[in-house]
Amino acid sequence: MKKRFWPWALAAGLALSLIWGVNQFQRAESLDLAAENQYQRSFADLVTHLDGLETTLAKSRAAGTPTQQVLYLSQSWQQSGTAVKDLSLLPSDEYGLNYVDQFLNQIGEYAHLMTQQIAKGEQMNASQEKTLTNMQERLISVNRTVQELNVSLSTENISWLSKNKRSASTNFSNAAPASAIGEEGAATVPDSVSSGLEQLDSSLQKYPPYSYEGQADTHFVSEPLGLPEKTVTETEAKAAATDFLQTLGYTNVDPQSSGISNGTFSVYVFKFSSTTVDVAKKGGVITYFRDERALGLQRFDADNTASRALKTLQNLGWKNLVQTSVNDFGGTIQLDAVVEEQGIRIYPDKIRLIVAKDNGRIIGYDATSYWLFHHKRTLLPEITMDQAKSRLRSDVSIQEYRLVVISLPGWPEAFCYEFRVKKGGEEFMIYINAVSGYEEKIQRVIQTPRGEYLE
């Protein structure tokens, strides 16, 4: 009886295995189909928005009035963002669409910068016009390639993934890319949408980068403006690091050299216990400090901790800094302080601290912003406070106001009247240019358990 049972049991097991295998195969096929359909829908949206982006960018170049330029440039900015979102739904990381993504982001950023500039009443100069023209011409080529892929997808029934991609092993990164370019620069004919996009991405790599100021609301300069002229030796830098650590409360200080870093600043790097101190070779100032020690039990609240940190800043020689924000992260606070000269707050000249609540000592110090942007400024308002107030909406309630310097995208700064206002139960920071009377910027004040944030 047992001899007859085993063949039947084996046959049943094989049958079940076969059924399971078929089921898994069908499930995998179903998932592949679902993924392919999702990619095709996202690609179809990309095709639509890319075509719209090319059209609005072309219209912005043909517009004869600032109003029309602002209209079409703002539309280009929005459509660029939408196209980037469409691209993010495609497997761009796996198939290497970094240059396409970067290109679309650059168009959106530049359109945004030009929208702001023209809205202020400043026309584009010849260099800016040339950059916009180059972007549009490059976009025409990109759009043409994407439109041709879309036609092939519809008429030639090509798939999203190439056969090489489907059959590639998990170590496919060592294989030759589908976007290989021939000796004379002619791209191979794509056998799928993914390989066509790879060829497009590869073709963008041959173009030079765009040159313009601004990285999406980032203030930057080509080199630090505030560093003292003196160049210090490593011995002098060590003495500066030692004095800094002793002022913070460290004892038996003997920082050891850990090399030289040539990032934004060229600095000597010193290590002592759990701390790191960066000393700029030019000027001999401390640009960065961090203590990675373990935190103990909290002894001070956020206000007391901030007060102790400000006293330490004064001991370090900072006499004209005012606290602008404190955010409570439990065991530590983050405190931002900026320069105030003759009652004017200079926001670009900022120092950021991390302060421990167990002993009230500074464990993080970042003065890079101050040393990057600090310079002599001539700050003479040409409109009065009352004239600036008249530029605000009549239905806002003014809570605070002062003169400030704020950063704008790229290098420019703006001398402004800052108004903290309430409207409809919300608070906003509104900046009116103290020279032109133009409304430079509006920020929304967000209240959180950790502190205030601006967006």
> Which of 204, 223, 255 delimits the end of a domain?
204
Helices 98-119/2-62 angle, 10° precision: 30
Q: For 126-147, what is the mean pLDDT?
A: 85
Whether 228 is in a domain gets the answer no
Whether 225 is in a domain gets the answer no
Phi/psi of residue 219, nearest 5 degrees: -85, 130
Q: For 147-170, what is the mean pLDDT?
A: 58
The answer to whether residue 243 scores a pLDDT higher than 80 is yes
How many CB atoms are closer than 10 A to CB 307?
Answer: 13
**Together in a domain, 191 and 314:** no
Q: What's the one-letter identity of residue 247?
A: T
Whether 213 is in a domain gets the answer no
The answer to whether residue 227 scores a pLDDT higher than 70 is yes
**Nearest Cα to Cα of residue 132 among 197, 199, 61, 183:** 61
pLDDT at 208: 58
Phi/psi of residue 156, nearest 5 degrees: -105, 0
- 8 A C-beta contact, residue 353 and residue 289: no
Q: In the structure, what pLDDT confidence band is assigned to residue 203 with cuts at 50, 70 and 90?
A: low
> Of residues 142 and 282, which shows the higher confidence score?
282
**Together in a domain, 168 and 272:** no
Helix, strand or coil for residue 309? helix
**Together in a domain, 416 and 362:** no
**Together in a domain, 121 and 144:** yes
Domain assignment of residue 281, given as a range: 234-373
C-alpha–C-alpha distance, residues 49 and 66, integer Å:
24
Write the DSSP symbol of residue 216.
Answer: S
Scored b (16 or more CB within 10 A) or e, 332-352 reads: bbbbbbbbbeeebbbbbbbbb
Whether 224 is in a domain gets the answer no
- The tens digit of pLDDT for each residue in 397-421 reads 999 999 999 987 666 889 999 999 9
**Together in a domain, 7 and 133:** yes
Among 65-79, 158-172, 413-427, which range has the highest average pLDDT?
Answer: 413-427
- The tens digit of pLDDT for each residue in 85-104 reads 877 777 644 444 567 777 88
Residues 6+ apart with CB under 8 A from 353: 309, 313, 334, 335, 336, 337, 362, 364, 365, 366
**Together in a domain, 192 and 266:** no
**Together in a domain, 152 and 60:** yes
C-alpha–C-alpha distance, residues 259 and 247, integer Å:
23
**Together in a domain, 71 and 30:** yes
- Counting the structural domains of the chain, the total is 3
**Together in a domain, 100 and 190:** yes
CA angle 109, 111, 115 (to 5 degrees): 115
Helix, strand or coil for residue 326? strand
> Of residues 411 and 450, which shows the higher confidence score?
450
- The tens digit of pLDDT for each residue in 23-44 reads 555 555 555 555 556 666 777 7
pLDDT at 114: 86
Whether 223 is in a domain gets the answer no
**Together in a domain, 339 and 426:** no
Whether 226 is in a domain gets the answer no
**Together in a domain, 48 and 170:** yes
Whether 42 is in a domain gets the answer yes
Helix, strand, coil percentages (3-state) for the chain, rounded to 5, are 45, 25, 30
To the nearest whole percent, how much of the chain has pLDDT over 70?
Answer: 73
What CATH number is given to the structural domain containing 401? 3.10.450
**Together in a domain, 170 and 245:** no
To the nearest whole percent, how much of the chain has pLDDT over 90?
Answer: 39
Q: What's the one-letter identity of residue 312?
A: T
pLDDT at 441: 86
Phi/psi of residue 249, nearest 5 degrees: 115, 5
- The tens digit of pLDDT for each residue in 326-343 reads 999 889 999 999 999 999
Write the DSSP symbol of residue 293.
Answer: P
